[in-house]
Chain A
Amino acid sequence: MAYEALDFYDVDSLLTEEERMVRDMVRDWVDEEVIPNIEIACRDGVFPDEWRVALGEMGVLGAPLKGYDCPGLSYTAYGVICRELERGDSGLRSFASVQGSLAMYPIWDFGSEEQKNYYLPKMASGEWIGCFGLTEPDYGSNPGDMITKAEDMGDHYLLNGAKMWITNGSIAELAVVWAKLDGVIRGFIVEKNDPGFSAPEMKGKHSLKASVTSELVFQDCKIPKDRMLPGVKGLRGPFSCLNNARYGISWGALGSAQACFDSAKDYAMSRIQFNHPIASYQLVQNKLSWMLREITKGQLLAYHLGQKKDAGNWIPEHISLAKMNNVDIALEIARVARDIHGANGILDEYPIMRHMANLESVKTYEGTHDIHNLIIGRHITGIQAFTREA
């Protein structure tokens, strides 16, 4: 049975024909290649390399970037791609988010012409995987106080420090690393064979199991002078990347939510207790109705934000609201779906507990739920509540 997406308000009818064709392409691929294989990938704790190849062949990596062999799609199309991928698995969407928004985007926006020509075509085709090094063991929500530093040694830079929670780290050909040069945050492109660089994988995750998460370690890591991104200084660099990735997540989370809703609905319709399907009980209907309500609101939020991204009249707070809301409801929908499935809900025969565990990460990464609240709080009051200082 082909997947019929929950779209109560026909929001997808607002998409352009091109956006719908891209949606169907990714949706079919997820149905045929991802969903039948995702549980094995999770049990094995690997990101299947075929998925990298397929994403490159479909041409969806770095979706909204133009030129340098990048797809040149709309931001709305990028959102739709994220949603379809995350219906498969958040780890898959994370791969695409990191490649497109966190690794390709900074090179595209802040890189030199030579850097763009050298890296972007190979990243758009999926041949080279990129990762993004901002978070450190002791600096997560507060990246401005990062320790990793770069020193200008005349004919090269020397990097020292460590990054943590880096998606794609161990499978990446290159890392866009943020480090302080004379106290100012700058972006550097580190290649996997650069001396003094290593990317050990972090094992033992209960979440995003089909995604590779690593540390990046720099011990007197020597990189050529032409690897610094010339176009940006300070936190604006990494935050620009995060804005795009967070935007994609606001769509992606809906994919997980839709998968959980579908599973819960099907289960409730077929599970008989007290001689009737449990879908016939008011308590269960209340849950399904609440899921549909929140997904529909989230779809409108994501679509409207996509239009604002495409029109260029957005502010980061708009993205914070959508990321925070849509991940929050997706996680709650996954938990309620787990509840509707009863004991069966803990088995990997159903996708819900995997989505639920994934979404715990998604709620935390790319700006935690609480940090996004503080961003919006600052917008409302004009008072920042991140630090104790004024």
Chain B
Amino acid sequence: MNIAVLLKQVPDTTAKITISDGKVDENSVSKWSMSPYDEYALESGLQLKEATGGNLIAITCGPERAKKMLTDAAAVGADTLVHISDDGVSDSTHVQKLLTAAVKKFDSHVVLCGKQAADTNGGSTGPGVAELLDAACVTLVSEVNFSEGNFTTIRPSNSGTEKVIVNGLSVFAFDKGSSELRRPNVRGIMMAKKKPVESITSGDLGVNLDPSNVKMNSQNPPPEKPAGQKFEGAEYVNEVVSKLRNEANVI
């Protein structure tokens, strides 16, 4: 089975984000990491590969720096590393088209990805790729297993969890998965170093990136937290309780 895992490199969740001229300043990001939900997808992909055999294809669309994340994926067991240049990419529909073309190019039987990227939180990649592939799509999954030609997935439902079974070409978008991404080891790291990253462009994939209908006006930092308030003495008890109840909503 060819298992495609779609990955995105995002600022590490601990990295400080600065905005300059209405845009996130990427140069000021101290650490880039694999988006956390994608990590769950990758781990599930590795488990699927171990259970069924096959080839795990790690695909990303992004700038040069994203290749490092593919090498990290190889260190834990990704077999084929595909980097699609993001030249000319200006919105998520472009990304979906490119990823879809790569998924096809590598004859993938199943596609795993995170439910949303930790930076843009768009959440459109999984459903978007599924639509273009004309594939089944199950979102917010925590687990994907394969047996007798079917994929069995677990996802939340109104009353707890539900089991969804699909077959054929399918896309699974991961919420927090049931197992964390495994730690690499020295052997994996040394093998990853030898694994080439296949670099392709929209031209190589035969994808025409139409002019985008989406315009990003500006990005803004979240509003600063209001300053803390200090109360001293028993006479403030009623006021504090009321604030905790009505403003902070914690009691």
Query: A-side interface residues toward B, CB under 8 Å?
Result: 1-2, 4, 17-18, 21-22, 25, 28-29, 57-60, 63, 71-73
Are B185 and A21 touching (Cβ within 8 A)? no
Tell which of B145-153, B189-197, B201-209, B222-230 binds the partner.
B189-197
Q: Which of A1, A2, A29, A73 has the most CB of B within 10 A?
A: A2
Q: B7-29: which have CB < 8 Å to A? A: 12, 14
CA separation between A58 and B68, bound complex, in Å? Answer: 20
Known interface pairs A25-B183, A25-B184, A29-B183; A18-B189 also in contact (CB < 8 Å)? yes
Are A60 and B186 touching (Cβ within 8 A)? yes
B71 contacts partner chain A, Cβ-Cβ < 8 Å? yes
The residue of chain A having its C-beta at the shortest distance from the C-beta of B12 within the complex is A2
B72 contacts partner chain A, Cβ-Cβ < 8 Å? yes
CA separation between A59 and B189, bound complex, in Å? Answer: 10
Are B12 and A21 touching (Cβ within 8 A)? no
Q: For the complex formed, measure the closest distance between the CB of B6 and the CB atoms of chain A, giving whole angstroms.
A: 22
B187 contacts partner chain A, Cβ-Cβ < 8 Å? yes
16 contacts between A and B (CB under 8 A): A1-B14, A2-B14, A4-B14, A4-B30, A17-B68, A17-B71, A18-B193, A21-B72, A25-B183, A25-B185, A29-B183, A58-B183, A58-B184, A59-B187, A72-B190, A73-B190
B98 contacts partner chain A, Cβ-Cβ < 8 Å? no
Are A22 and B12 touching (Cβ within 8 A)? no
Are B185 and A59 touching (Cβ within 8 A)? yes
Contacts of A73 in B (CB 8 A): 186, 190
Are B14 and A21 touching (Cβ within 8 A)? no
Are A22 and B189 touching (Cβ within 8 A)? yes
B61 contacts partner chain A, Cβ-Cβ < 8 Å? no
Q: For the complex formed, measure the closest distance between the CB of B164 and the CB atoms of chain A, giving whole angstroms.
A: 32
CB 8 Å contact bits of B51-93 with A (1 = contact, 0 = none) = 0000000000000000010011001000000000000000000
CA separation between A60 and B186, bound complex, in Å? Answer: 7
Are A21 and B187 touching (Cβ within 8 A)? no
Q: For the complex formed, measure the closest distance between the CB of B73 and the CB atoms of chain A, giving whole angstroms.
A: 12
Are B189 and A57 touching (Cβ within 8 A)? no
CA separation between A57 and B75, bound complex, in Å? Answer: 14
The 9 tightest CB contacts between A and B, nearest first, are: A59-B186, A2-B14, A59-B185, A71-B186, A21-B189, A58-B185, A18-B193, A25-B184, A59-B187
